[in-house]
Amino acid sequence: MIENEQTADLNIAGDRLHLQGDCERCFGLCCVALPFAASTDFANQKDAGQPCTNLQSDFRCGVHTQLRQIGFRGCTVYDCFGAGQKVSQITFGGQDWRNAPESAKQMFEVFPLMQQLQELMWYLTEALHVHTTEELHRELVNLLAETERLTRLSPELLAKLDVAAHRAAVNIRLLQTSESVREKALQQLPVTKGRRKSYGRGADLIGAKLKGADLQANNLRGAYLIAADLRGADLRKADLIGADFRDTDLRGADLSDSLFLTQFQVNAAKGDTHTKLPAHLRRPAHWSSNEMSK
């Protein structure tokens, strides 16, 4: 594929700003539509469709700057991939659920479906920014365009959409992308003894001691990395789609070139100023600025 054609295809993917939450353009949907249970992440329980007691009349959080201190850590982790503003401003044309209560139930039902579609667009956008075969590249472009089309369906059609089936179709191409990229990366890695670790999809690494581990080009899809020690670990070209990073210690780790990492995952982990992230992800405000622990 010639360079100008590649550039044109990447323009379809565009930047990722529309795939990040914009609370200023949302009607507080994550604070209403989603349920949460009293836990270490949430100070109390809330049912789906019930507004959080901290949600103000302007759809802003009244305790936004204190969330982690008062027991709402889960709110600081969550990212809707831009579903909130899309449902608010496009699906429902800027009409909020307070002024149009008859639309509230449908709006809250559509929101989590939209989040799944926006998440798929995030992965497809990333896949389009890595080197793949021409045929796979075109498949990714078509899937991204189709997913975008689905996000613009009417509320009625969105509610009936089989998102699971579409996700399965997208996942086939994402997996092909991952295998292609990781295979090429592995071929370029020097042969080492002892330091390099190899794990598979869905690996149970809860609390694992992997400080300084070489995890380059690993398939860590859906891996359980809860509270794992990954300080100083090398996760470049590792497939991290769906990996659980809750309380994972990423201080000093290198994720700069990892595959399919999301802001949601980063927010759930622990890190510091030495943690290397992909350029399109933000360093969470709650991350430590201290040196990596020895």
CATH (domain of 289): 2.160.20.80
pLDDT at 7 over 50: no
288 class by beta-carbon count within 10 Å (0-12 exposed, 13-18 middle, 19+ buried): middle
Dihedral class, residue 52 (left if φ above 0, else alpha if ψ from -120 to 50, else beta): beta
242 belongs to a structural domain: yes
**pLDDT value for 197:** 78
More confident residue, 180 or 289: 180
| DSSP 8-state code for residue 65 | G
In Å, how far are 6, 8, 115, 142 from 12, measured between CA atoms? 10, 7, 20, 10
At 6, list the tokens. 């590649």
Same domain, 213 and 262: yes
What 3-state class would DSSP assign to 210? Answer: coil
Same domain, 231 and 161: no
Q: pLDDT tens digits for 19-69?
A: 999 999 999 999 999 999 999 899 999 999 999 999 999 999 999 999 999
Query: Cβ atoms within 10 A of the Cβ of 280, count?
Result: 16
* Average pLDDT of span 175-191: 91
**What residue numbers bound the domain in which 206 lies?**
193-294
* Average pLDDT of span 84-90: 97
18 belongs to a structural domain: yes
Distance CA(124)–CA(43), nearest Å, equals 35
Structural domain count, the chain: 2
Same domain, 91 and 144: yes
163 belongs to a structural domain: yes
38 belongs to a structural domain: no
Question: Which of residues 127, 148, 183 is at a domain's end?
Answer: 183
**pLDDT value for 195:** 61
* Average pLDDT of span 262-291: 90
**pLDDT value for 132:** 84
Dihedral (Cα; 175, 180, 185, 188), 10-degree rounding? 160
**pLDDT value for 269:** 97
Same domain, 179 and 197: no
10 belongs to a structural domain: yes
Question: Which of residues 183, 210, 235 is at a domain's end?
Answer: 183
What 3-state class would DSSP assign to 174? Answer: helix
Same domain, 268 and 294: yes
Residue 2 pLDDT class (50, 70, 90 cuts): very low
- The pLDDT mean for the chain works out to 91
Q: pLDDT tens digits for 218-232?
A: 999 999 999 999 999
Same domain, 209 and 285: yes
Q: Are 34 and 48 in contact (CB under 8 A)?
A: yes
32 belongs to a structural domain: no
Residue type at position 188: Q
57 belongs to a structural domain: no
Q: pLDDT tens digits for 245-264?
A: 999 999 999 999 999 999 99
Question: Which of residues 183, 215, 249 is at a domain's end?
Answer: 183
Percent of the chain surpassing pLDDT 70 = 91
